[in-house]
Amino acid sequence: MRSHRVGRFRRILLVLLSAAAVAAILSGCTAAAPSAGATPSALPTDVSSAPASLAAPSAGSTPSALSTEGSSMQVSITVAQTVPAGGSVDVPLTFEQSPQAEVTLYTDGTPVTATIDGTSLAPSPIVAGSLWASLTNPTDGNLHIVNSGTAQAQVAVVVSIETGRTLTITAPDPAHQYDHGASVDFDVVLTEPQAGDTATAQLHDPTGTSSAITLTPAGAGHWTGHVTPGSGGGSYTIMVAVPGASPRFTSYEILVASGTVTLSSGFSERLVDSDHDGLANKLVLSPTVTVQNPGKYKVVGYLLDSTGAQIDVTGGDVDLVAGAQPLDLAFDGSTIYKSGKSGPYRLAKVAIMSGDTTEASAADMGLTQAHDYKVFQR
């Protein structure tokens, strides 16, 4: 779960920084612009190391990093810069009189240090190679970045502040999962809007290509958008930026199925008595799955009773070949027996995943035969 969280965070961060830089340039967002003489740059993809001499974050502190939907910590500044070899740069930061802020510095692996108002940034426990500091009642000032290496360093700064002015994206599917070819309607809401607030949006596909999304005003601090991801599956990201004196940035990940995996509408079933004692050790339910791209997938399926309560869940890694084949979902007989519930049972919430993306799913695949729970292993 941790590696999934970090991987997802890093993908969104990469997009956030590039989208924010574009929005700042196009919209005159001076609060997020680099200082004079700095060279904007996308965040490097290799941030595998950080200076070992830096102290660890204080006990109990954990960076929130990129703000998420519904969070009071909001990204307010993103800056990408080049720090010359053996030199330093000062990045002006404003905190809008926030009671709490987080400053995160991402590097390309070149050893750098950074301080703001006497506080040194320390290695982040979330993303290797980044530096981080949590600030209470911070005052506006310069983030002083020093490059002790012999090559120039590409760095990126993200500031999150605790604020009531929050920017969020909402879409119909809370799991962020969408079928191949599906369109996505979404809402963008900015609380505590200010006169003249505008929003820009972009869609970033798995290859890093971006395209503009038209946002339609729907009231003060409210916009709507509509987007259809491209033909390929994978992770797409909607990025929204609100420039101005109090800028805000946020993102929304869309996981799109590739369209190369399909599930049948029903399933076959059998009882398996593996120890030959007359009691079923497994209830195996087998829908048919058709796969275009052979390989390793993750599967999950739930067995429910007549009231919809969960009896058992099964899943794991499976190797699927090209073409149609049965997908065996084996539910534990002793778990069924201990439930005290007889069938018919319902096969539900079946999903086949590749990486983070759900390639095929079915909320309800139908009912089993009316098995007596006493036929299962004690």
- Encode pLDDT of 129-173 as tens digits: 899 999 999 999 999 999 999 999 999 999 999 999 999 999 987
Same domain for 354 and 235: no
Query: Virtual CA dihedral for 11, 16, 17, 20, nearest 10 degrees?
Result: 160
Same domain for 307 and 201: no
How many Cβ atoms from other residues are within 10 Å of residue 363's Cβ?
9
Are 141 and 116 within 8 A, CB to CB?
yes
Q: How far is CA 187 from CA 76, 178, 222, 223, 225, in A?
A: 20, 16, 7, 6, 6
The answer to whether position 56 is within a domain reads no
Maximum separation of any 2 CA atoms in the chain, in Å = 80
- Band the pLDDT of 78: cuts 50, 70, 90: confident
Q: Which of 223, 256, 289 is the last residue of a domain?
A: 256
Are 264 and 360 within 8 A, CB to CB?
no
Asked if residue 18 has pLDDT above 70, the reply is no
Same domain for 181 and 158: no
Same domain for 319 and 221: no
The answer to whether position 338 is within a domain reads yes
Q: Which of 146, 162, 178 is the last residue of a domain?
A: 162
Same domain for 243 and 129: no
Nearest by Cα to 196 from 225, 221, 224: 221
Are 360 and 322 within 8 A, CB to CB?
no
The answer to whether position 28 is within a domain reads no
Better-scored residue on pLDDT, 176 or 345 = 345
pLDDT tens across 338-372, in order?
A: 999 999 999 999 999 888 778 888 889 999 999 99
Asked if residue 24 has pLDDT above 60, the reply is no
Same domain for 144 and 186: no
Q: For the residues 48-61, what does the mean pLDDT come to?
A: 28
* Domain region containing 279: 261-375
* Choice among 28-32, 47-51, 202-206, 233-237 with the minimum mean pLDDT: 47-51
Characterize the bridge pairing of strands 357-367 and 122-123. Answer: unpaired
Better-scored residue on pLDDT, 287 or 3 = 287
Q: Which of 162, 186, 212 is the last residue of a domain?
A: 162
Q: For the residues 279-300, what does the mean pLDDT come to?
A: 96
Q: For the residues 305-325, what does the mean pLDDT come to?
A: 96
Better-scored residue on pLDDT, 189 or 56 = 189
Number of domains within the chain:
3
Same domain for 172 and 129: no
- Band the pLDDT of 13: cuts 50, 70, 90: low
Same domain for 205 and 224: yes
